[in-house]
Amino acid sequence: MMDQETYVTADGRTIGGVLMEMRNISLRFGGVKAITDISFDIREGEIRAIIGPNGAGKSSMLNVISGFYIPQEGEVWYKGAVRPQMRPFEVARQGIARTFQNIALFEGMSVLDNVMTGRLNHMTMGLLSQAIWKGKAEQEEIENREVAEKIIDFLEIQHIRKTPVSRLPYGLKKRVELARALAAQPSLLLLDEPMAGMNVEEKEDMSRFILDVNDEFGTTIALIEHDMGVVMDLSDRVVVMDYGKKIGDGSPDEVRNNQAVIDAYLGVAHD
């Protein structure tokens, strides 16, 4: 079922086949319709944004993608098959990693140790097997450290690798969170409002790192964001939500010129 058609973007990047597809997703909380009949796909190698005003349903959608919410209706297709209901840790094993809007790091631990926790899904050996196969356990530990260190270098946080996270300014904490998610070497990286609460300089840094990650590792990235301006330069394609419905989907230019999107952002009254 996977759409394998690839295409090359204006800036020369190759976007692959469909990695994830949301089909007619609806999600309710009691009487509140958070998502109504939304379909869209995420293709390999692209940066895909989901934007919309407050309460549009973006977080709910990210939680459906990450497996945290099970929609009442619709199907989530991933890597060419319907994804069965699974717990978030099982979703993580399938190669989906995420960051959170409110930073979720171990504040008392160093940057390096936090990034290493991103490797948990790659640790195959329990305590008993580590005791029996010591050499193999050491080898695994070395490999995990190598991946963590490579990502720390890439995100330019070597100088704080031993620093407890609690001592870092907000912008750097967000970068450490990105590093931890990347340490899992995900097929799909989900970013929950990665620029929220940042100053202009921090936003520019974060945008650059998101682009570099996509470029260097080829990681497919889906992000939700409140601020339309921030994602327009960053994204290949944008889904726009409003009141739980999809009102736009396309390239940044298409979305920018979509009347329903303009109305939603200008706060035009809805029937």
Phi-psi region of 119 (alpha: psi -120 to 50; beta: other; left: phi over 0): alpha
| Paired tokens of 150 | 């490579």
- Whichever of 13 and 226 has its CB closer to ligand ATP, that residue is 226
Contacts of 95 (CB under 8 A, 6+ apart): 184, 185, 186, 187, 188
Nearer to ligand ATP, 56 or 184 (CB): 56
Restricted to residues 60-119, the positions that interact with ligand ATP (CB under 6 A) are: 60
CA–CA separation, 238 vs 248, rounded Å?
8
What mask, x for binding ligand ATP by CB under 6 A, covers residues 131 to 160?
------------------------------
Query: Closer to ligand ATP at the Cβ: 58 or 175?
Result: 58
Nearest CB to ligand ATP, comparing residues 52 and 71: 52
Q: Work out how close the CB of 104 gets to ligand ATP at its nearest, in angstroms, rounded to a whole number.
A: 16
Query: Which one among 226, 232, 250, 256 touches ligand ATP, defined by CB under 6 A?
Result: 226
Query: Among residue numbers 19 through 58, which ones bind ligand ATP (CB under 6 A)?
Result: 29, 32, 34, 52, 54-58
CB of 133 to ligand ATP, least distance (A): 44
Nearer Cβ to ligand ATP, position 55 or 164?
55
Q: How far is the CB of 52 from ligand ATP (least distance, A)?
A: 5
H helices within 68-161, ranges in order? 88-93, 111-117, 127-132, 134-154
- How many DSSP H helices and E strands does the chain contain? 10, 12
Of 100, 76, 44, 82, residue with least CA distance to 221:
44
- Residue 121, helix vs strand vs coil: helix
Q: By three-state DSSP, how is residue 206 classified?
A: helix
- The nearer residue to ligand ATP, 48 or 119, going by C-beta atoms, is 48
The neighbour count for residue 52, using CB atoms within 10 Å, is 26
Which residues are registered as beta bridge partners of 223?
A: 49, 191
The size of the interface with ligand ATP (CB under 6 A), counted in residues, is 12
Q: Which of 26, 36, 39, 59 binds ligand ATP (CB under 6 A)?
A: 59
Query: Where does this chain bind ligand ATP (CB under 6 A)?
Result: 29, 32, 34, 52, 54-60, 226
